[in-house]
Amino acid sequence: MSRLHHSDYPALDLNGDNYLDWAMNTSFDLKSKGLGKCIKYGNDTLAYERRRAVLIMRNHLVKDLYDECSYINDPYDLWSRLNTMFFEPLLDESMKEWKALRFQDYESVDDYHFDLMRITYSLKLCGEVITNYDLLSKTRDTIHSKEVFLSQKAKGFTTYYDLLSYLSALEEKKQKGKSTSTNSTMLWR
Closest to 74 measured CA to CA, from 98, 112, 34, 46: 46
CA distance 93 to 15: 14
User: Residue 81 burial (CB < 10 Å; 0-12/13-18/19+)?
Assistant: middle
Q: What is the pLDDT of residue 7?
A: 60
Residue 108 exposure: Cα atoms within 13 Å on the Cβ side? 6
Looking at residue 155, what is its pLDDT? Answer: 87
In this predicted structure, what is the pLDDT of residue 1?
A: 47
For position 14, what pLDDT does the model report? 93
pLDDT of res. 2: 46
- With a threshold of 0.85, does the pTM exceed it? no
pLDDT computed for residue 90 by the predictor: 86
pLDDT of residue 35: 96
92/100 Cα distance (integer angstroms): 12
User: What pLDDT does 183 receive?
Assistant: 47
Measuring CA to CA, how many Å separate 89 from each of 60, 61, 126?
A: 21, 19, 11
pLDDT value at residue 187: 31
**What pLDDT shows up at residue 186?**
36
Q: Residue 174: its pLDDT value, please? A: 87
Per-residue pLDDT of the chain (189 residues; tens, 9 = 90+): 444 444 689 999 999 889 888 998 999 999 999 999 999 999 999 999 999 999 999 999 999 999 999 999 999 999 999 988 998 888 899 999 999 999 999 999 999 999 999 999 888 878 889 999 999 999 999 998 888 778 888 889 999 999 999 999 999 998 887 766 554 443 333
Helix (H, G, I), strand (E, B) or coil at 39: helix
